[in-house]
Structure 1
């Protein structure tokens, strides 16, 4: 009987795997050697990019994005051939992303089953999310640029139109001052929706960080839905459920984390933490503990701490219920974190809170490994996409660093010398020399990657269907949840 059950379970597993594989293969949009790119993968890829670049709309824009996705896979192959995945900075970045993907999977397993969405919740969310706002916005991937715009706009809000011309390739937004028109809050990215919800009419937001970059928005007007439309509610129901699941999931995650921390009660050793802080400060003045500027735990600073506390490296630094972590082990953990993700601080409290978060994530990561979540299919897929993306931009930046820029191009961006247009007609699509350089580097990389003669097959019909699905007339298409035209 047991043998029959095992055979049945195994057969069902094989059948489910085969069905999933057939479904994936039936939904493929492109083949690159032995790699299948599905429609869903591609949709997620291009929706994470807020600007299609030179081909800013239509089928050419989608084809450009698909080419970029294919090139990212080819870049990973090239990186493996050159042994780049063994380079310490790249290896560290990949390991960090793996930890984050495993943690996300851990939260899904612990919290997902506790998320329940009722019909009443969906209807309430529909009313809340369908308040409409008339707004304009700016976008940049550069945090410093966003902060600069915000600082200038606080002095003179009329600069919004000028900054919009700098911000957008999209001719509609560049010409109309970034005005997006009337939009339901439900269609905005969640971080944007949250930021918009706190603004008064006419108020300009601080830079709002989303997965794409930094946004500055201004609410020009608001209006609530006049009636509850059942047909529109049914259309939005899948998206509303997704939004509610994410919202409830975040709340449950925070509760789960708080319970975990409360149970473990991790605390840095007071004397060792004081020694660490004084080593960071570089003096023994206990009256003035705050730093004059923000610091990051760079590798030289970590080495400075090691030297100053060489006699304490074996001592317990983090105490928690059931154990402790030595100073040497904790400094080693910090060293493995990519520089951009390491703690930044000006006060002892800020550093202490961030060290506690690092301990928490490391503890939960180890728990997740015990459950084998590093082999979770979604974790592996997320890690694959991260590698492809990172190595692609590694090669792009490598080309940018060595790219020779024609003098006529430099003059165009510095003095608006129009003679460059005859030789480089696409130059009018770019607002800065850096954008032009980056685009040129992508073109060069594209040519290099295709020289390896990879086997590439694209389902043109599916690409055309995807193009029909998008309403290209909507000026903010990349910052909203798309709906079929």
Structure 2
């Protein structure tokens, strides 16, 4: 409440200088690409304070207003210089339009029906004051999750199965234990299931954003005394958040129902070829796909008699309108890729329905799209400017000299690899080593991109880089061949070479680490200087409201 008091005090002090009825439409700053109103400022500034936890002050208001104006000027300059003709901009515009169309359709069809009941608020308040500890197992499909649950009921342990499903991660070593968590700390479906379980109870499979999970709550602690005053203080935020969660749940339920009604069917052979290409199991330049594969039918969907077919090229065009993180998650397994493609189909159909309903022709949609594009342009220009940042050589050298003892190369071993998709093939090649050279076999049979050139040589690698097989490699004798060993990409044979012991890094070897340490602060200063230059270029073209002019001290820093 303290933040809100400061904010309200600020608005009241400023509004006192305005004529009656003027507060709602007053323009604080006007210029090329700049139209900052009091209402716009209030909305952005309030969100900033709540997001950062900073305390309101007159100086901070000035800083923030300057920041908003500088951002608008950066976007204006980029548009003046023709960024809208850039293919990167065009691609981003298409992606944002698709996303906002789906959101507009969901808002019109689904969100108005969402209600937050008093019982929902009470339960959320209890959860907010409760902590759970749980462990889980993850599977790509419901059938695989059911199999894991059956194995648990047959007596196998979470510890054993976690090492199998999570492979070489912290979760594998901790038996799937996620530690203590509370309200809104986890995936919504995961959380909903966990709070419904008794301590020790094992859940049925539940679909999360990361796959199908089997949960077990291992401990629970609730705050013993909860007061009406505390509930009243938290109620507005809880109501807003629960409404958002219910809207998302309604949207996901609609997507699942739509996916079922569309009867999406895949071509298994094409799906497998595409997966092998995406995961690097087929050696091919990353920038290209076989033209024949691009034209291959991947899936069909729609009502009987009006089915639509997507080729791999169609799928790729849709996938390019998603984030890198989404595409990387789709490469975890064939099942994950399949689910990703289903999601793209649902998104496409919802966007088409939104267009058919004319939602893309409303003033509100155009404004929302423009605002999202402005944000992207600003972030893009910032990214481009910071990509050119070069840290001073003398600063890097001085840091290395002062902290040299911390920069050391771990022990490494030379390793050669043969990667194949099946265990049977790995055993066949292992037997062939009696009469064939390891590198020759790697050139002929390894599925690792580049193996045909390198003969499977991975170079000198650390134990950490080798993941779960690292300990075996570092315990092996020079010249020894290990395997077949199972890794996420398939099965490998590894030939172990000589040692390079731990040793101090040279300056060039330490440079990437030093730059990573120092770059954030240099980037902040560099971008701040860039914004100040933009403001200076337009100083005589931006008009401020007399009672809100920003004649800030030179030492003032933007937030």
> If the TM-score is normalised by the length of the shorter chain, which range does it land in?
0.5 to 0.7
Residue 382 of structure 2 corresponds to residue 396 of structure 1: yes
Residue in structure 2 matching 1:363, options 349, 354, 357: 349
The separation in 2 between residues aligned to 1:412 and 1:385, in whole angstroms, is 44
What TM-score do you get using the length of structure 2 for normalisation? 0.51
Say whether the 8 Å CA contact 1:131–1:224 is kept in structure 2: yes
Q: Please say if 1:300 is aligned against 2:287.
A: yes
Query: Once structures 1 and 2 are overlaid, which stretch shifts more, 381-390 or 367-376?
Result: 381-390
Distance in 1 (CA, whole Å) between partners of 2:185 and 2:126 is: 17
Secondary structure at the aligned position of 2:110 is classed as helix
CA distance in 2, matches of 1:243, 1:407: 48
Q: Is 2:421 the partner of 1:436?
A: no
Inter-partner Cα distance in structure 2 for 1:48 and 1:106:
29
CA distance in 2, matches of 1:193, 1:460: 50
Q: Distance in 1 between matches of 2:31 and 2:47?
A: 16
Relative to structure 1, the CA distance from residue 410 to residue 316 in structure 2 (aligned partners, 3 Å threshold; closer, same or farther) is closer
| RCO comparison, higher one (Cα < 8 Å, 6+) | 1
> Aligned equivalents of 1:65 and 1:415: distance in 2?
39
In structure 2, C-alpha distance between the alignment counterparts of 1:107 and 1:83, rounded to whole Å: 33
**Residues 462 and 455 of structure 1, relative CA distance in 2, 3 Å threshold:** closer
- Rounded to whole Å, the distance in 2 between the matches of 1:323 and 1:262 is 14
SS of 2:36's equivalent in the other structure is: strand
**Partner of 2:384: helix, strand, or coil?**
helix
Is 1:350 aligned to 2:336, yes or no?
yes
Q: Secondary structure at the match of 2:241?
A: helix
Tell me the CA shift for residue 308 of structure 1. Answer: 3.5
CA distance in 1, matches of 2:336, 2:194: 26
Among residues 261, 268, 277, which one is paired with 2:272 in the alignment? Answer: 277
Larger helix proportion of the pair: 1
Tell me, yes or no, if the aligned pair for 1:131 and 1:225 is still in contact at 8 Å.
no
**TM-score of the aligned structures, taking structure 1 as reference length:** 0.58
Distance 1:338 1:389, change over 3 A: same
Q: Of the candidates 293, 301, 311, which is equivalent to residue 319 of structure 1?
A: 301
Q: Which has a greater percent of strand?
A: 2
**Structure 2 residue aligned with 1:449:** 534
Shift of 1:372: 2.0
- Mapped to 2, the partners of 1:392 and 1:279 lie a distance apart of 35
CA change 1:327–1:385 in 2 (3 A) is: same
Correspondence 1:115-194 to 2 at 5 A: 115-131=114-130
Q: Give the Cα–Cα distance (whole angstroms) in 2 for the partners of residues 103 and 233 of structure 1.
A: 35
Aligned-residue offset at 1:258: 1.9
The CA distance in 2 between the partners of 1:228 and 1:69, in whole Å, is: 41
Post-superposition offset of 1:248: 1.7
Question: Counterparts of 2:189 and 2:525 in 1: how far apart (Å)?
Answer: 35
| Residue 235 of structure 1: aligned partner | 233
Deviation at 1:44, TM superposition (A): 6.4
Provide the secondary structure at the position in 1 that maps to 2:116: coil
Give 1:104 shift.
1.3
Of the two, which has the highest radius of gyration?
2
Q: Is this contact kept in 2: 1:30–1:459, CA < 8 A?
A: no
Larger mean CA deviation between 451-460 and 368-377 belongs to 451-460
Does structure 1 residue 337 correspond to structure 2 residue 337? no
Equivalent residue number for residue 249 of structure 2: 251
SS at match of 1:318: strand
Matched with 1:36 is: 36
Change (3 A) 1:195 1:445: farther
Please state how far the C-alpha of 1:387 moved relative to its aligned partner: 2.3
CA contact (8 A) 1:103 1:368 kept: yes
Please give the root-mean-square deviation of Cα atoms over the aligned residues, in Å: 5.0
Distance 1:190 1:25 in 2: 41
Corresponding position of 2:78? 79
Judging changes above 3 Å, is the alpha-carbon distance between structure 1 residues 352 and 151 closer, same or farther for their aligned structure 2 residues? closer
Query: In the superposition, relative to structure 1, how do residues 240 and 387 fare at CA in structure 2: closer, same or farther (>3 Å)?
Result: same
Deviation for aligned residue 1:365: 0.5
Equivalent residue for 1:25?
A: 25
Q: Does the 8 Å CA contact 2:319/2:344 hold for their aligned counterparts? A: no
- Counterpart Cα distance in 2 of 1:265 and 1:151: 38
Q: Which blocks of at least 5 consecutive residues in structure 1 are unaligned?
A: 1-20, 134-149, 156-183, 200-209, 211-220, 283-289, 418-429, 464-477, 479-485
How far apart in 2 are the matches of 1:25 and 1:74? 21
User: 1:276: how far off?
Assistant: 4.9
Please list the CA deviations of residues 312-356 of structure 1 after superposition, one character each: whole Å capped at 9, or x if unmatched: 4xx684232132134276246336525625463143222221111
The offset of 1:241, in angstroms, is 1.4
